[in-house]
Chains A and B, each alone.
Chain A
Amino acid sequence: MNALPPSSGCASELALKERPSERAPVLRERGQREVFCGLTGIIWLHRKMQDAFFLVVGSRTCAHLLQSAAGVMIFAEPRFATAIMEERDLAGMVDAQEELDRVVGKLLQRRPDINTLFLVGSCPSEVIKLDLAKAAERLGAKHAGDVRILNYSGSGIETTFTQGEDACLASLVPEMPAGDSDGAKELLIVGSLPDIVEDQFLRLFKQLGIERVGMLPARNACDLPAVGPQTRYLLAQPFLSDTAMALENRGAQRLDALFPFGAEGTTAWLRAAATEFGIDEMHFNSVVAGPRKRAKRAIEHSREMLGGKRISFLPDSQLEVPLARFLTQELGMEPVEIGTPYLHRTHLARELELLPETARLSEGQHVDKQLDRVREDRPDLTVCGLGLANPLEAEGFATKWAIELVFSPIHGFEQAGDLAELFARPLRRRDVLRV
């Protein structure tokens, strides 16, 4: 096959971006969804916020999900656990709120190092209407001074996979101190990033001359940055709609930008901040030029493998749209179907403009129909969840596990090459194997 995209490929599509009306309507489906629930976010959130503990109030299923999704036997000192509800809790033989007090008391006694405790709601706790907000308030008063107790829902009836992080961060927003509303503008980066990526970004902002930069979440949940009308925030992740809303309610303003994936995405993302903070264009270019060039070089390596290849995304993390844009724009791939559990039009507006109109966008899921489409489309690479990857491989499709995209550092200039490599590796492997 020719390494160049077909004639209707990205180059000509990009020219048409001004006319979004030509895009086929988004396919909206209702059926079986094959995605994790929001509890899964605990796996990366607990590593990010090093003084926080996540207590799921749920069932054996919730506990089993957490241990299976992470593939974890056990971390030496896990900072998450499940309070498994039992028959007694449901049959009203014991008062669930009192039971919760008992479990939390026991936990805090064992873990005096905890500064923030999240009570995380699950489907069962929501269905029986166990009021975790009330519990958090009561327990917070009881343990005031030692631990802050917050709550959010990670339940599968309310949240899909990464929406758990959204709910968690949104629960932190009311806790953020009010900044000086007449003071100088401050930048806030929103979305949990691996420490190494966070540090890279902070260095870049510093070099740009933006001094006041906060992170949500902070590495220590007790060091929350301030928020107010002086706040300008950049989303580092595309799945943070509730958090964004909560920040807006406190006066913060969103800087519209591409998401920081690849050389182009990262440049655009940084530029949005630079422009807002009045950084001189020449200075911006001089700071960004080096790492940007490095990113381009690192990507080049995978371009040969990925250019002209067709890719489909099954809905998973909401990272699908920005990643499809990166792969199209910077690696010359051709997105066939871009499935996402939820399409946030405003946050993704710029990303969507850069997608070729031939790409089929789908929101929600009917997994069986979607797999039928994969079989019909025969993409060169399919991005999907762990439950679907091996079955698709067995049918002859190359796959990339979506969850790796959530667990690995993929943002920013220095990770652009790794991100491209994540997609190239399954294809390279197929070329290498002779068994």
Chain B
Amino acid sequence: MQLSVWTYEGPPHVGAMRVATAMEGMHYLLHAPQGDTYADLLFTMIERRGKRPPVTYTTFEARDLGKDTAQLFQDAARDAAERFQPQAMMVGASCTAELIQDDPAGLSEAMDLPCPVIPLELPSYQRKENWGAAESFYQIVRVLADRNIERAPREGRRPLVNILGPTALGFRHRDDLVEIRKILDELGVDVHLVAPLGASPQDITHIGAADFNIVLYPEIGDEAARWLEREFKQPAIRTVPIGVSATRTFIEEVAELAEVDPTSALGDNSSRMPWWSRSVDSNYLTGKRVFIFGDATHAVAAARIAHEELGFEVCGLGCYNREFARDVRAAAREYGVEPLITDDHMEVEDAIIAAQPEMVLGTQMERHIAKRLGMPCAVISAPVHVQDFPARHSPQMGFEGANVIFDTWVHPLVMGLEEHLLTMFRDDFEFSDENGPSHHAAHAPKMSQARAPTIDADVPEEPVVPADSGSIWTAEAERELKKIPFFVRGKARRNTETFASDHGRAEIDLDTLYDAKAHYAR
């Protein structure tokens, strides 16, 4: 048993739901008790979908156990087939139904339903949401793909590509797709199929007709891509185009497989990020220490952008999905940090406290942790939150995605010029600590925020590190410390205290303070 307060990933059948809900003409029959219908609200509330997920739950009860749960399943299957007339039906069990072993696959096979059936075996007590999505998508492709399809010869037609991985409830999938289509359009490559998002079972049957695949979200699309590689000899592009350099590499790889000229796509002049990063105002970004945590793909991409494209220093890197831990380990080695592979958010919190970053790039959970610790933050990865479905276009991929990333990461940091001004005028009452920079109110720890018992309570806590362990500080040193801008003061205090204890100093006076400053100077 694992004690858990919050989880990064839902159970695997929620992954299957993300696939089913993304598609058109698909239905998912889930053998599950009534409470499991909560999952619908993820789609209708977080993603604001205007349609119910195409899922029928059998909602068996205790009194059905041991007598007719199997019958219940078959009745529900027949009803769903009749009512929704899907082109294909996924069938499976949630955690509870897995225990009663009704065998949805066998039951539906025996029924001779009017549409193809995709039986899913998603072990709920071992696996999680992403795995469930990947496995479901793979099974759909395997069952539905027409294996006799003949690829038309390349001469005299534009190259065709499948885009694999976008689902419902995906982190910016909607907007990423727009950017990828733009790139492919510029390259003269036609999109044969996007799947699962927007694809019908009918569309999936033709998946083999494309020349190659783009694995946009490896967590979800890679398993299917590997099968397609074997079955249809479709090569796959696995570079995930998040960040400027990855986007360039992606364009070159696509161009090579498609045998087209990448020049115009590479010359896209909407890419502002490189100049924004080189302009003098960004000087202050140099060496900012960032802690990165998310799903493996987004975490690795964020680390590369942070390191190469913004000149940050990666001081922590991790992911919650073990299946892709290898990529994170490799990247962590590159940046000289210890990889953190865990799905326990408390462990992540401890790691953040230990690393003392100047900024956190993480999931919504790390946003909350950072907020409690008074650190700037930006969200880079699922699990999604209603805020991750903005009304405006807000991709992560492609050149526009890089522009968006520049803005969202830099905004939480105190603006370059603003930082100088604060230092210059730190004694001016208008710049008093309590005010803080205007855009930053949300996590200025001094702001006593309403402790209203709101849902999604960003309940501010007292700072974890006691603000006043003052006893060993001399009054003079304490006064000096107050002159340091508030947004670095906490760090200065901690560094000085660590330095003092490492060097056996019983008291922190002015000298200790400046010795410590020199010691930690970069």
Contacts and interface: CB of A to CB of B under 8 A. Distances in A.
B39 A394 contact: no
Interface in B1-54: 1-7, 9-11, 13-14, 33-42, 44-45, 48-52
B126 A87 contact: yes
Contact of B3 (A32, A38, A81): A81
Contact of B128 (A60, A103, A126, A158): A60
Interface stretch (A68-76, A275-283, A322-330, A348-356): A68-76
Contacts of B50: 390-391, 393-394
A158 B62 contact: yes
Interface string A119-147: 00001101110000000000000000000
Interface in A356-402: 368, 385-391, 393-394
A75 B95 CA distance: 26
B45 A386 contact: yes
Interface in B75-130: 76, 79, 83, 94-96, 99-100, 123-126, 128
B365 A157 contact: no
Interface string B433-460: 0000000000000000000010111111
Interface in B161-208: none
Interface in A45-69: 47, 57, 59-65, 67-69
Contacts of B51: 391, 394
Interface in B372-409: 372, 385
Contacts of A89: 1, 125
Contacts of B37: 32-36, 387
B78 to A, nearest CB: 12
B368 interface: yes
Interface residues of B, number: 65
B364 interface: yes
A391 to B, nearest CB: 5
Given A83-B2, A156-B33, A387-B38, A73 B372 contact: no
B69 to A, nearest CB: 10
B6 to A, nearest CB: 5
Contacts of B155: none
A127 B65 contact: yes
A80 B38 CA distance: 18
Given A61-B95, A75-B459, A87-B123, A68 B33 contact: no
B62 A160 contact: no
Given A32-B76, A75-B457, A386-B44, A156 B35 contact: yes
Contacts of A65: 35-36, 38
A387 B6 contact: no
A288 interface: no
Interface residues of A, number: 68
B56 interface: yes
A12 B128 CA distance: 57
Nearest to A44: B453
B91 to A, nearest CB: 15
B59 A33 contact: yes
B293 interface: no
A184 interface: no
B57 interface: yes
Nearest to B33: A156
A342 to B, nearest CB: 12
A63 B126 CA distance: 15
Contacts of A78: 5
A81 B59 CA distance: 24
Interface string A23-38: 0000000011111111
Given A47-B453, A71-B455, A127 B96 contact: yes
A126 B33 CA distance: 12
Given A387-B52, A390-B45, A74 B5 contact: yes
B256 to A, nearest CB: 42
Nearest to A94: B1
Contacts of B45: 71, 386-387, 389-390
Given A156-B34, A388-B52, A63 B4 contact: yes
Interface of B: 1-7, 9-11, 13-14, 33-42, 44-45, 48-52, 56-62, 65, 76, 79, 83, 94-96, 99-100, 123-126, 128, 345, 364-365, 367-368, 372, 385, 453, 455-461
Given A68-B10, A83-B1, 9 more contacts: A32-B56, A34-B37, A61-B95, A73-B456, A73-B458, A86-B125, A89-B1, A100-B1, A124-B99
Interface of A: 31-40, 47, 57, 59-65, 67-76, 78, 80-87, 89-90, 96, 99-100, 102-103, 106-107, 123-124, 126-128, 155-158, 160, 368, 385-391, 393-394, 407
27 contacts: A33-B59, A36-B38, A40-B38, A61-B10, A61-B96, A65-B35, A68-B10, A68-B41, A68-B42, A73-B368, A73-B385, A74-B6, A81-B3, A86-B126, A87-B123, A102-B1, A123-B33, A126-B62, A127-B99, A155-B33, A156-B33, A160-B34, A386-B45, A388-B40, A388-B44, A388-B52, A391-B44
